[in-house]
Amino acid sequence: MQKIWLYVYFPNLQLDALLQQNPSSNLHTQGYVILDEQTNQVCQLNHAAYQAGIRLGMGLGTAAMLKADLQVIPYQQKITKNRLNDIAQNLYLVTSDICFFNDNGLLLQVHNMLNLYGNLTSYWQVVQQQLLGQQVHFHYATGHSPLAAKLLAITAWDQITDNIQTIKRAILQASLQHTDLTVKAVKKLQRVGVHNMQDLLKISLADIAKRFDIEVATYIGKITAQINHPVSFFHPKKSFDRFIELLYDIENIQILQAPLTQLLQGLELFLKTRDLLTQTLVFTLSQRDEKSIELKVHSQQGEYLAKSWAVLISLKLENITLSAPVFAIRLIVENTYIRTPDKSDLFAGNQGRLSRLQLISLLQAKLGEAAVSSPTLTNDYRPEQVIQNAEGLTKAIQPFKLYALRPSFLLTPPQLLQEKVSIAFGPERIETGWWDAKPIIRDYFIARNQLGQWYWVFKTPKGDWYLHGVFS
């Protein structure tokens, strides 16, 4: 089978990521460049900057001279990598073999996907559709070897073909600057009169190996598919982890909602395509010059919808204050599980807007987890030990014998009885707990005070009277 590779080159990943975050920003009109601080060269630029005459690889000084109001953003590999990863995740839905090349390109193995899609045109239509949905700039090209496809994509060839002759002709047009050869190697070649690929490919591989570095020979061998080029393919991660860098620092919680919504929509897509649900989201809000805030949002019922999460998050956000502006947000979702459809009764009617678990999540998000509880029982005679409030709702435990005549409210701890009461029922002796640190010997009585309130009082062996409960 003839091998065909498709290379997609993303020249402006970081700028695209910023634009996607802030659709209303002035990225369209204002000149923006991304500057690689290590080499002091422009590595990404938008259309306005290009029109001003700025080109890739220019120094900051030159660029600034060409356009006075130029906005410069430092290059951050992390953002580019993250964005590329997202794109790969999305492409994985339609094509299987994806390989990362540098920080700004993806290589797709086409020939084994043609069985599924029939021909190259229909395959490209599907891939293109996915790419257009990502709102990124891209150039593409097919090639008979990975490096050939890459070279053509970088020269913005933008053609899809499986005709080797066409591809080879296109390669001959390419200049050496676009190749993967080092600057030193290119200079060396230029000194001997080799200025473009056409000149270079005229020379036989054996001669190149003799006269130039092994690196040049390998490159030529790989590009002409004479040497095998091993690639390692991408496997999508099981968990969701996304980092977004904000275009400008955010100090207001309200404004923070917009980038959060964007993250949530990404999560929704991720979970929906895999038919998964999750219960916990962990946001890390990186604050400038301050410790970052970790925001854990919990839902009792598994959710994937961005809408449902947004409600819980806005409640959580009410309780936090930003001590410094936020410049980046990261969302990690570690545990997911397969969705099982809720079986609800069609005929029950009058079904609420929320399920029980959703209501509990809502209350817990606003009031804190400890504020919502469900009473539980422990098999013990001591009234203090019997009641234990569990957070959230718990399943009923094994039934055991319960004693009648227990008050509705308990005072924790019991207080000394301060008023005159008349005994209505009792005593009921509870003498237990000798095996642990809290033994009790008490005679319990039901008593009524002068105001007609029903009390649960007890007498200790010393003769002290305590009020322990109220029969409301």
Q: Where does this chain bind another protein (CB under 8 A)?
A: 350-356, 358-360, 362-363, 366-368, 371-377, 381, 383, 386-389, 393-396, 402-412, 423-434, 446, 448, 451-455, 469-472
Work out how close the CB of 442 gets to another protein at its nearest, in angstroms, rounded to a whole number: 10
Q: What backbone phi and psi angles, to 5 degrees, belong to 171? A: -65, -40
SS3 (DSSP) at 380: coil
Shortest Å, Cβ 472 to another protein: 4
Name the minimum Å distance from CB 465 to another protein: 16
Q: Please give the helix or strand (H or E) that residue 186 lies within, else none.
A: helix 183-191
Structure tokens at 290: 């301050």
Alpha carbon distance 254, 36 (integer Å): 33
Query: Measured from the CB of residue 331, what is the shortest distance to another protein in angstroms?
Result: 26
Q: How far is the CB of 462 from another protein (least distance, A)?
A: 19
CB atoms within 10 A of CB 143: 28
Of 251 and 380, CB closest to another protein: 380
C-beta of 138 vs 444, nearer to another protein: 444
What SS3 class is residue 392?
coil
Q: Are 358 and 300 in contact (CB under 8 A)?
A: yes
Contacts of 32 (CB under 8 A, 6+ apart): 15, 45, 46, 48, 49, 70, 71, 72, 73
Closest distance of CB 347 from another protein, Å: 14
Q: Which is nearer to another protein, 48 or 360 (CB)?
A: 360
Q: In residues, how long is the chain?
A: 472
Contact 116, 127 (CB under 8 A): no
**Closest distance between another protein and the C-beta of residue 77, in Å?**
45
Choice between 225 and 377, CB closer to another protein: 377
The CB-of-318 to another protein minimum distance in angstroms stands at 11
In angstroms, what is the minimal distance from the CB of 417 to another protein? 14
Cβ-based nearer residue to another protein, 157 or 456:
456
Closest residue by Cα to residue 403 from 430, 423, 422 = 430
- Could you give the 3-state DSSP secondary structure of residue 283? strand
Q: Would you say 273 or 408 has its CB closer to another protein?
A: 408
Neighbours of 107 (CB within 10 A): 25
Let me know: does 274 contact 238? Beta carbons within 8 Å. no
The residue (of 52 and 410) whose beta carbon lies closer to another protein is 410
For residue 306, the minimal CB distance to another protein (Å) is: 21
User: Is the preceding peptide bond at 236 cis, omega within 30 degrees of 0?
Assistant: no
Other Cβ atoms less than 10 A from the Cβ of 58: the count is: 21
Closer to another protein by Cβ: residue 31 or 383? 383
Compute the radius of gyration of the chain from its Cα atoms.
35
CA angle 135, 54, 157 (to 5 degrees): 55
- Of 39 and 319, CB closest to another protein: 319
Cβ-based nearer residue to another protein, 388 or 460: 388
Q: How far apart are CA 201 and CA 220, in angstroms?
A: 8
- Fill in the amino acid letter for 352: G
Identify the three-state secondary structure at position 31. coil
